[in-house]
Structure 1
Amino acid sequence: MAAHRLARTGPFFLLSLALVSCGKGHDGALEVAVMGDASAIAEKRARLTPAAQLIRSATVEGLVGFDEQGRVVPALADRWIVTDNGQSYIFRLRDGTWPDGKRIAADTAATALRRSIASLKGTALGLDLAAIDEVRVMADRVIEIDLAAPVPELLTLLAQPELGLFYSGKGIGPMALEPGAEGAASLKLIPPEQRGMTRQPDFPHRARTLSLKFTAPAKAVALFNDGYADVVLGGRVDTIPLAGRIGLTRGNVQLDPVIGLFGLMIERTEGFLGDAANREALAMAIDRDALLARFNIGGWQPTTRIVSPDVEDDLGTIGERWQGMSAEQRQAQAAARVAAWKGAGRNLPTLNIAMPDGPGSSFVFEQVRDDLARVGVAVRRVPERDRADLRLVDVAARYGRATWFLNQLSCTVQKAVCSPIGDERVAEARRAADPQARAALLAEAEAEITAANGFIPIARPLRWSMVRSGTTGFGQSPWGWHPLPPLAWLPK
């Protein structure tokens, strides 16, 4: 339900970019180019890259999963009920077998789920799951998840790729992975009878192979442009200008209606950055309207808030910062703070900003560099993996509630600048049963974390894909990534 509401929020539009050539797939396979490193094919860690999430979700089912539009659908659990005022979720497991042929049972599934949850400790996703009190076996094929307080987004959380259930180190599908050479891999749907399920007579005619190629963004776009890819996945702000280099006519480039964090994270607090007012000066100096204008994408709006106003539990009591001030007025105030710092005889060295490669990152850096220069701060760009004073963050939300944003900026996750008081308010909200009381506590937490000035919001994230006309199994998603199994099913 949350996914439906989010999909209607925000004025995102289809980019009308196109390609005239036809796909050059082989043997009926759907050719998919993924912007990302080939290491995603064998990724086993709990913290997954976006590319690795695609592989994990395709090969390691959880209790539930996502369809192509980001809606929760059955996976290992074929049905569930919610009881005890939202504090108990009871799942009935489907018929089937683990990879070794043993029947899927509640005890082994519950053990796998507990292990997946434990592996996420210390991460933002682990905080999202913190209200889980116990995973219990109720019957041979029935699992109950008890919560300390209601978690309306629990099903969406359980559908995350990181919550896939391993058995003896292996996943249960629904797809089998065959690694290839030079960043290539193929994924095939496993016949139902090989998973201990009822045979589907039409399966051989409906299932198609996905031929994946993990590659650099420019190469992925070139594969599509030259007709060697039917789908391109993994587009973000840093790569969106690449889409504009394609020939124009009918609309193959799509934007997902995501929310999340896109901005600069403070990574160090020595010297000038050690003062919250100075960190705020950097946030005030950035002309967000001018920055987004460089991209010329209709409907992409700037923001100064750390929480999206579109989340379901936003009370509307916290608005955009510095309302009524023009960009010039904000920069004048920021310049005064910088001058005061330097006037006290203190040094302000050039600040390093870590960013990913890509023309979109260049657009962001150039605007930030120019704006900060106007207030007396010099910056240089360094590679994404380098240590830096500030880092460009681009993360799409996993669910549409304020807790996602606040957990991303918690002291558990962000060590440089955080708000212990804000974390306390979030913890209190997690225990609150009343929705209004919970929302009020989250608003207090947002105010505290905002005042710490550890994150400089710029806008919503952008997530884009390229999909050839007539391709089935793809839909715009509020979560910004696209499960592979729906792409492998041909329509009846």
Structure 2
Amino acid sequence: MSLRSAVIAAMTLALCACGKSRDGTLEIAVMGDSGALKEQGLRLSPAAQLVRSATHEGLVGFDEQGRVVPALADRWIVTDNGQSYIFRLRDGTWPDGKRITADAAAAALRKTIAGLNGRALGLDLAAIDEVRVMADRVIEIDLSAPVPELLTLLAQPELALTWRGKGTGPMVRGSDEEGAQVFTLIPPEQRGLPKQPDFTRRARKLAITFTTPDKAVTRFNDGYADVLLGGRIDTIPLAGSIGLTRGNVQLDPVIGLFGLMVDSTQGFLGASANREALAMAIDRDALIGRFNIGGWQPTTRVVSPDVEDDLGTIGERWQGMSMDERQTQAAARVAAWKSGGRGIPTLNIAMPGGPGSARVFDQLQVDFARIGLSIRRVGERDRADLRLIDVAARYGRATWFLNQLSCTVQKSVCSPVGDERVAEARKSADPAARAALLSEAEAEVTSANGFIPIARPLRWSMVRSGTPGFAANPWGWHPLPPMAWLPR
């Protein structure tokens, strides 16, 4: 290659590495429907969570590394052995110009918490006894027992506070002539924060395109996006289509639930031992091997062993049994059921679309066929016997997992006794006693066999080298505001 050709090639690569942005705007492709822009209330899709957290603030928020940072509250203290959190609000205004007061903020927070009743996030917040006003700009949250993860919970998009249906930023949303949604940082002085002399130079716009996974990857690959967000197991083969070795693919070290939820207790699935047969039959190593992703580990536990309050008394299931032995025992249970003249219809498994889901289904089909069962794949919103669950944990404690699987949330198969142990743990101020109760709860939930764990969830993104404001983090959560700030 001549020197001239080499220079041209280097310049082309440099341009591609910066994407095809407009006037310094950072182009972001999000895997998700544009309907996320219209989602209201507290049941939000991942794309809608991204929008909510950009345009609405709670008492606290997240930075790009998943750390809690000030938002409407500019400072806080924790007292009474972790059972009281006192927040001082910044001197800002609501969208209509009215001053933010503790009365209004506390009322909004109470309303939001009440709206989460009956959901897993509501159970996470169940230890909140009272939200009360202490002074014009001071709120206190009283707890019945310590909740070490309270700040992390308050930073969730669903806990953002609204005033007459609108949020306080830190960004405002508009659109451009090309149909992209443009998010712009609100100047600090308009939010009750000190003026920043270099704000105009440092702040940049974000142009967000919501689109299908394959189109999002194409936009990134063709240089029309610098960041791609929203990757999960169902879409990760698309990342491999341009090469995982390029260094653009970022995997988040998340924990959570990835496996099959039992949605029907009719016939064969009505017995816990039969549901356990399904769990025994899955060759998790073979399933993970279909994706060829280093470090992705299988699990048979409903609670991740990495959580802070795990005592280590509950290990992986069926240790000491080979895969053949497990499938032989599972097949015997299926045969015993059929020998009684009871048939087992084809089981429907609800899954999202995408090539990753297809790989999961193919392995499940092989494994279940070995024990005498046939399965059919249906859409993720269709009625089904089993449902593929893929949820990243919002905080790193056993209570998150157990609340997800509680009888309040899961109506088909759950453990009332397990829920009782979790409720007792919630009231305990002794960390050791609380951890012991949670271990008992995990054992009860596991024996119900309402959820069949497979592995950790996968969360992935694509980011061009040198893009500021993005970092892999344990929640798989990538807020927009940090990406709108250029380095000093």
* Aligned match for 1:301, one of 287, 294, 297: 297
| SS class of match (2:69) | strand
Q: Shift in Å at residue 482 of structure 1?
A: 0.3
Counterpart Cα distance in 1 of 2:259 and 2:179: 31
Matched-pair identity in %:
79
- 1:39 matches 2:35: yes
Normalised TM-score (structure 1):
0.95
Counterpart residue number, 1:366: 362
- Give me the whole-angstrom Cα distance separating, in 2, the residues matched to 1:343 and 1:147: 55
Q: For residues 198 and 242 of structure 1, what CA distance do their matches in structure 2 show?
A: 44
CA 1:162–1:180 in 2, change beyond 3 Å: closer, same or farther? farther
Question: Measured at CA, do residues 243 and 19 of structure 1 come closer, stay the same or move farther in structure 2, by a change above 3 Å?
Answer: farther
**How many equivalent residue pairs?**
475
For residue 85 of structure 2, give the secondary structure of its aligned residue in structure 1: strand
Distance in 1, Cα, partners of 2:177 & 2:342: 55
Asked if the contact 1:21/1:226 (under 8 Å) is kept, the reply is no
Q: CA deviation at 1:183?
A: 6.6
**Counterpart position of 1:9:** none
8 Å contact 1:41–1:179 — kept in the other structure? no
Say which SS state the counterpart of residue 162 (structure 2) adopts.
coil
Does residue 477 of the first structure (1) align with residue 484 of the second (2)? no
What's the CA shift string for 1:268-322, capped at 9, x where partnerless? 0000000000000000000000000000000000000000000000000000000
2:485 matched to 1:489?
Answer: yes
Q: 1:232 to 1:351 in 2, by over 3 A?
A: same
1:88-487 equivalences under 5 Å are: 88-179=84-175, 184-247=180-243, 250-487=246-483
Q: Between Structure 1 and Structure 2, whose CA radius of gyration is higher? A: 2
Structure 1, 316-325 or 114-123: larger mean CA deviation: 114-123
Q: CA deviation at 1:41?
A: 1.1
1:180 shift after superposition = 5.5
Q: Alpha-carbon deviations, 1:87-121, whole Å to 9, x = none? A: 00000111111111111111111011111111111
Q: In the alignment, is the contact (CA less than 8 A) between 1:65 and 1:75 conserved in 2?
A: yes
Structure 1 contact 411–423 (Cα < 8 Å) conserved: yes
Does structure 2 conserve the Cα–Cα contact (< 8 Å) formed by 1:33 and 1:220? yes
The offset of 1:195, in angstroms, is 2.2
CA 387–183 in structure 1, closer or farther in 2 if over 3 Å, else same: farther
- What is the distance in 2 between the residues matched to 1:184 and 1:154? 35
Contact 1:19/1:248, CA 8 A, preserved across alignment: no
Q: For 2:337 and 2:177, how far apart are their aligned partners in 1?
A: 55
CA contact (8 A) 1:98 1:172 kept: yes
SS for the counterpart of 1:135 is strand
What is the alpha-carbon distance in structure 1 between the residues aligned to residue 179 and residue 228 of structure 2? 15
The question of whether the paired residues in 2 share the 8 Å contact of 1:290 and 1:367 is answered with yes
Superposed CA RMSD: 1.3
Per-residue CA distance 1:410-441 (angstroms, 9 max, x = gap): 00000000000000000000000000000000
Distance 1:248 1:94 in 2: 44
Residue-by-residue CA offset, 1:149-184 (whole Å, 9 max, x unaligned): 000000000000000000111100000011458873
CA contact (8 A) 1:183 1:214 kept: no
**In the alignment, is the contact (CA less than 8 A) between 1:303 and 1:459 conserved in 2?**
yes
**Structure 1, 23-32 or 196-205: larger mean CA deviation:** 196-205
Offset of residue 249 of structure 1? 5.3
Q: 1:484, 1:138 → 2: CA distance? A: 33
Aligned to 2:260, the other structure's residue is in SS state: strand
Provide the C-alpha distance between the structure 2 equivalents of 1:248 and 1:416, rounded to a whole number of angstroms. 39
Q: Distance in 2 between matches of 1:188 and 1:20?
A: 24
> Which segments of 5 or more consecutive residues in structure 2 lack a partner in the other structure?
1-13
| Matched AA of 1:29 | T
Task: Provide runs of 4+ in structure 1 moved above 6 Å.
Answer: none
1:193, CA displacement in angstroms? 2.3
Q: Partner letter of residue 415 of structure 1?
A: K
Deviations along 1:100-149, whole A, 9 cap, x unmatched?
11111111110111111111111100000000000000001100000000
SS of the residue 2:333 aligns to: helix
Q: 1:375 to 1:257 in 2, by over 3 A?
A: same
Between the aligned partners of 2:155 and 2:61, the Cα distance in structure 1 is 4
Amino acid at match of 1:68: E
C-alpha spacing 1:48/1:19, structure 2 compared with 1 (3 Å): farther
Counterpart CA distance in 2 for 1:382 and 1:133 is 43
Give the whole-Å Cα distance in 2 for the aligned partners of 1:416 and 1:86.
Answer: 36
Correspondence for 1:30: 26
Q: Structure 1, residues 390-420: CA drift from partner, whole Å, max 9, x if none?
A: 0000000000000000000000000000000
Q: Over residues 351-390 of structure 1, what are the superposed CA-to-partner deviations in whole Å (9 max), with x where a residue is unaligned?
A: 0000000111001000001100000000000011100000
Q: Is the 1:19–1:249 Cα contact (8 Å) retained in structure 2?
A: no
Q: After TM superposition, give the deviation of residue 197 of structure 1 in Å.
A: 3.1
Q: Is the 8 A contact 1:35 1:216 kept in 2?
A: yes
Q: Distance in 1 between matches of 2:404 and 2:61?
A: 23
Q: What is the identity, as a one-letter code, of the residue corresponding to 1:58?
A: A
1:196 Cα deviation (Å)?
3.4
Given that 2:77 and 2:87 are in contact with CA atoms closer than 8 Å, whether structure 1 keeps it comes out as yes
Structure 1 gap ranges (5+): 1-17
Find the aligned partners of 1:425 and 1:365 in 2 and give their Cα distance: 34
Partners of 2:116 and 2:79 lie apart in 1 by 26
The letter of the residue matching 1:102 is K
Distance 1:211 1:258, change over 3 A: same
